[in-house]
């Protein structure tokens, strides 16, 4: 785990962007939802300790509610035909995290997949060269090479990540 990332984790401005109902139940800072059924389920939770973030059309249905915001327009993604209602929820969550502008992003539970998800992460790494992306996965001896050309993407495992958190807490 790079020192820069460890230092970044020490920041008080830690923001957790999750997606779907589990994120809402866990009270993450922001919960991205991009389909109507999940949004209905999230908004019906008895207590919401997260700010739900939804694309404009879905947001309009719950515009009168307190704990929901409209996704920003993502101007920097316009030329990439990025449609928050058509891409996966994790891509929208990643787009929001990049838009927020945090210097380091720890991707936990991000599912890689060769057709859309991996190229999307590579595209975000290209688009935000000053952001550090730490892809955290379960310990696995098999090396991931697809991010080798991206100096701002590192692959790490959950054990190292947990150790880093311990070190940060102890510090």
Partner 1 sequence: MLSKPKNTDLKYHIVVEWPPSCRNRNVKTLRNRPDLVYRLNEHTKKCMELAKTYSNVKIESEYNFVGIRMWFRSGKDVYDFILNQNKNEIKVIPELYVVNGLNNRLDKFFFRVEGSEIIVY
**Shortest distance, position 135 Cβ to partner 1, whole Å:** 25
> What is each CA distance from 140 to 19, 103, 107, 117, 159, in whole angstroms?
25, 26, 16, 19, 11
Closer residue to partner 1, CB minimum distance, 99 or 150 = 99
Pairing of strands 104-108, 68-70: unpaired
State the DSSP H helix or E strand holding residue 21, giving kind and residue range, or none if neither: helix 20-25
How many chain residues interact with partner 1 (CB under 8 A)?
14
Q: Where are the alpha helices (DSSP H) in 44-110?
A: 56-61, 89-100
Residue with tokens 């879905």: 58
**Shortest distance, position 69 Cβ to partner 1, whole Å:** 5
Which of 35, 61, 112, 118 is the binder for partner 1 (CB under 8 A)?
A: 61
**15 touching partner 1, by CB under 8 A:** no
Provide the token pair at 130: 């000053």
Closer residue to partner 1, CB minimum distance, 43 or 146 = 43
**14 touching partner 1, by CB under 8 A:** no
**13 touching partner 1, by CB under 8 A:** no
Q: Which residues bind partner 1 (CB under 8 A)?
A: 51, 53, 56-57, 60-61, 63-66, 69-72
């Amino acid at each position: 785990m790079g020192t820069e990332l460890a230092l970044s984790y020490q920041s008080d401005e830690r923001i957790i962007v999750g997606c779907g109902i589990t994120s809402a139940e866990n009270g993450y800072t922001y919960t991205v939802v991009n389909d109507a059924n999940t949004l209905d389920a999230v908004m019906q939770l008895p207590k919401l300790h997260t700010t739900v973030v939804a694309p404009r059309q879905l947001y309009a249905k719950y515009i009168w509610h307190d704990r929901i915001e409209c996704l920003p327009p993502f101007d920097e993604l316009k030329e990439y035909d990025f449609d928050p209602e058509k891409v996966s929820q994790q891509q929208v969550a990643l787009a929001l995290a990049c838009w927020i502008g945090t210097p380091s992003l720890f991707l936990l539970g991000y599912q890689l997949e060769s057709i859309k998800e991996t190229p999307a992460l590579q595209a975000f790494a290209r688009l935000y060269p000053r952001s550090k992306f730490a892809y955290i996965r379960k310990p696995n001896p098999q090396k991931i090479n697809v991010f080798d050309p991206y100096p701002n993407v590192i692959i790490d495992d959950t054990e190292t990540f947990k150790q880093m958190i311990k070190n940060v807490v102890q510090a």
